[in-house]
Amino acid sequence: MLTKELAIARYVDGQILPDRLSRTKHAKYLELAEQMCQVYRAGVGSMRKSLHHEIQKILEVDPECPIRRVGAFCKLLDDWSEFDAGKPKKTAQLRQRVFRQAANLHPLVANVESILDRSEIQAKQQIAQSENMTWHELERQLFSDIIEHHRLIKFDSPSDTKDLLARYNVAQTQAALLDAKQMVVESTADWKRILRFAKLANLMHRIEPIHDGFRFTLDGPASVLRGTHRYGVQMAKFLPGLLSCSGWSMEATILPKGFAKHADTPWGSKQRWVLKLDANSGLQSDTQAGGQTDSGVEQQLIESWKLMQLLLEGARDLEGWMLIREGDLLVRGQRVFFPDFTVVSPSGFRVLLEIVGFWTPEYRRHKAEVLAAFPDTPMLLAIPQSLKAQWKNHSFSVNHRVIYYGQEVLPGEIIRAIEENS
């Protein structure tokens, strides 16, 4: 991730537009990216300082290129690299030996004026000799452990140099989010993943249903007390995950620089910028897009349902029934529950279907808590025959029904259970 010092953005009509290199407007950057990667590929053994200098020289071709963009590319390339941190201990010991020796000759003067003066050149030769090297070698080693002097060992070149530009665009958007106060995501799909990434980033959520999905408002504990960008880093961390989801749009509120000074004034509290983004913004994430079901039983149910529809097309008993994977989401405070499926009857009656898979006491307790938190929601629980004993004494809410299954959950049994109870 980039630091704020490397962030570049434009501000237009209340919107913040992070620096973005596009294929049309910045066509030459494709070639520059190739050149930059080439510098690192060929740069094994070079000092970080000189690699960065090379990058600066490459980008000088573009007179419009801001200094921060140079810094940002250096940072991203460094992130793909491995540097030799030198031998800090040995180098520090070398320095201490050299400085102690020089202390006896202090001051090393360039203008020898009296017989007592110690000439810089002679003193340095003498000290270097006692270290068994030339002064030139000694000078090179003296500060070899500082970050700018580290030497490149390895560069994990991206398979496609376009990746560098893609990474740059995401990194600038993340950098803009560092000052974010709040993030609102509206989505028609992938809710579970969105919430999982929000949880990973340690953000708090508020969820409201909207016409074809949900609105997630993400921020942190102290956000209700004041506008703070304390959680900006977490929102920046959340972004790559969000980018790997589909069907979303996002609006982040960004606090302007120095907002705290004017926060109490009427104009200060209104001063803010908005960062807008959606699933089609063209930003690419390297977070892997999952989307597989959690268990084999669920996968099997989806397949049998499809098969049944195919075989019995037009058959009376399946007509009008729908099975939607993770189609609903139940919220109570910070507790969110995604039942595995939503089953919709021909008359539009919705029943949530949760497949119980494991036998551990923790798992059972967790499931029981979830059921207790949503006693008014019609739910169908599919429990394996083998766990019948475990759940025998559980008192279910009148809205919660149970079916026991053997090898797999059969569509017909689901429909029968719902029909019996409605």
Closer to other proteins by Cβ: residue 204 or 322: 204
In the complex, minimum distance from the CB of residue 133 to other proteins, in angstroms, rounded to a whole number: 15
Strand order through the sheet with 341-344: 322-325, 341-344, 350-355, 379-384, 400-405
Q: How far apart are CA 135 and CA 227, in angstroms?
A: 57
Closer to other proteins by Cβ: residue 174 or 228: 228
In the complex, minimum distance from the CB of residue 80 to other proteins, in angstroms, rounded to a whole number: 22
Closer to other proteins by Cβ: residue 257 or 316: 257
Instruction: Return all residues near 183 (Cβ < 8 A) that are at least 6 apart.
Output: 177, 203, 217, 218, 219, 235, 238, 250, 251, 252, 253
Q: CA distances (Å), 115 to each of 104, 105, 119, in order? A: 16, 13, 10
Closer to other proteins by Cβ: residue 276 or 332: 332
Question: Which positions touch other proteins (CB under 8 A)?
Answer: 7-8, 10, 19, 63-69, 88-89, 92, 95-96, 98-103, 106-111, 120, 123-124, 127, 139, 142-143, 145-147, 204-206, 220-222, 224-225, 228-230, 259-260, 333-334, 369, 372
Closer to other proteins by Cβ: residue 36 or 243: 36
Residue of 323, 395, 332 whose CA lies nearest to 355: 323
Contact 251, 275 (CB under 8 A): yes
Q: What type of residue is 84?
A: D
Contact 73, 36 (CB under 8 A): yes
In the complex, minimum distance from the CB of residue 49 to other proteins, in angstroms, rounded to a whole number: 10
Q: Give backbone dihedrals phi and psi of 286, rounded to 5 degrees, phi first.
A: -95, 5
In the complex, minimum distance from the CB of residue 350 to other proteins, in angstroms, rounded to a whole number: 25
Helix axes 191-200, 232-243, angle to 10 degrees: 150
Residue 86 corresponds to which tokens in the numbers above? Answer: 């030198």
In the complex, minimum distance from the CB of residue 312 to other proteins, in angstroms, rounded to a whole number: 44
In the complex, minimum distance from the CB of residue 1 to other proteins, in angstroms, rounded to a whole number: 14
Query: For the chain, how far is it from start to end, CA to CA, in angstroms?
Result: 54
Q: How far apart are CA 401 and CA 354, in angstroms?
A: 10
Closer to other proteins by Cβ: residue 202 or 280: 202
Q: What type of residue is 334?
A: Q
Q: CA distances (Å), 190 to each of 123, 241, 248, 250, 305, in order? A: 70, 11, 8, 14, 21
In the complex, minimum distance from the CB of residue 325 to other proteins, in angstroms, rounded to a whole number: 27
In the complex, minimum distance from the CB of residue 124 to other proteins, in angstroms, rounded to a whole number: 7
Contact 170, 284 (CB under 8 A): yes
Closer to other proteins by Cβ: residue 365 or 416: 365
Closer to other proteins by Cβ: residue 191 or 259: 259
Place of tokens 């006896």: 104
Q: How far apart are CA 390 and CA 402, in angstroms?
A: 13
In the complex, minimum distance from the CB of residue 231 to other proteins, in angstroms, rounded to a whole number: 10
Closer to other proteins by Cβ: residue 83 or 404: 83
Residue of 297, 286, 351 whose CA lies nearest to 322: 351
Closer to other proteins by Cβ: residue 157 or 271: 271
In the complex, minimum distance from the CB of residue 299 to other proteins, in angstroms, rounded to a whole number: 34
